[in-house]
Amino acid sequence: MFDLAVMQPLNELPPIGGMDDSPRGRVLRAAAYLFHKQGYARTTVRELAQVIGIQSGSLFHHFKSKDDILCAVMEEAIIYNLAQMHRAILEGNTPSERLHGLIEAELESINGNTSKAMAVLVYEWNAITREQQQPLLAMRQEYETLWINVLEDLKKAGLLKHDTFIWRRMISGITFGTALWFKPKGRVSLTELTDMTFAMAMGH
């Protein structure tokens, strides 16, 4: 059981991208932290309400159920990070710049201010039904299509000679693997990690 006595008040916790300070956003933010810290199954509605500082019934002004909250945490994580991917592509003037931007955005999503929500998306995926997964999978497909399109542009420019689907899997293995070891105040910064990953992706 989670020890609420050692939990920081929600207002003292760092923000999470895509989850604002509205009543709905506060529920999602608290849920992302609790589901990440102790797991979805072990988190009760009462605990979630206590962390936010509201009555349990107030949670359901915005959500139908606890699993509706979980789905919303996952959805907001994807929506926010998909927007960062689109931004990276718009800001890149060449395929190489766009790939660098995508790598930076993905590393930020995994290790930055959406890291807890992204971890919930990965580790609690089987806690939601196939029906609930469908809209999330559609957004995930859009996310991956952005990557493949940029890699295809690199291939057409003669800067990449490998199968783009396989190369995307290789890159995602690198970026998502950083969640296991990367420390924001460690030996390398996120910027340095981006440059290193980009160099590997380009075969430099």
End-to-end distance of the chain based on CA atoms, in angstroms? 49
Report DSSP state, residue 189. -
Residue 57, pLDDT score? 84
Residue 140, pLDDT score? 94
CB atoms within 10 A of CB 27: 26
Cβ atoms 146, 90 nearer than 8 A: no
Per residue in 140-158, pLDDT (tens digit) is 999 999 999 999 999 999 9
Kindly report the pTM of this predicted structure: 0.90
Residue 4, pLDDT score? 47
Residue 60, pLDDT score? 87
Q: How many Cα atoms occupy the beta-carbon half-sphere of 14 within 13 Å?
A: 8
CB atoms within 10 A of CB 70: 23
Cβ atoms 178, 107 nearer than 8 A: yes
**Which domains occur in the chain, in start order?**
7-61 (1.10.10.60), 74-201 (1.10.357.10)
Nearest by Cα to 184 from 129, 127, 108? 108
CA 149, CA 55: separation in Å to the nearest integer? 47
Burial bucket for residue 35 (CB in 10 Å: 0-12, 13-18, 19+) = buried
Residue 7, pLDDT score? 60
Residue with tokens 């990276």: 88
Q: 39-58 burial string, b = 16+ CB within 10 Å, else e?
A: ebeebeeebbbbbbebeeee
Per residue in 66-100, pLDDT (tens digit) is 999 999 999 999 999 999 999 999 999 999 999 99
pLDDT tens, per residue, the chain with 204 residues: 445 444 666 877 778 988 988 999 999 999 999 999 999 999 999 999 988 988 888 888 889 999 999 999 999 999 999 999 999 999 999 999 999 999 999 999 999 999 999 999 999 999 999 999 999 999 999 999 999 999 999 999 999 989 999 999 999 999 999 999 999 889 999 999 999 999 999 986
Nearest by Cα to 50 from 67, 75, 33, 62? 33
Residue 30, pLDDT score? 93
Q: What's the distance, CA 147 to chain centroid?
A: 16
Question: Is the sign of the CA dihedral 98, 100, 106, 108 positive or negative?
Answer: negative
List all residues 6 or more positions away from 140 whose beta carbon is below 8 Å from its beta carbon. 78
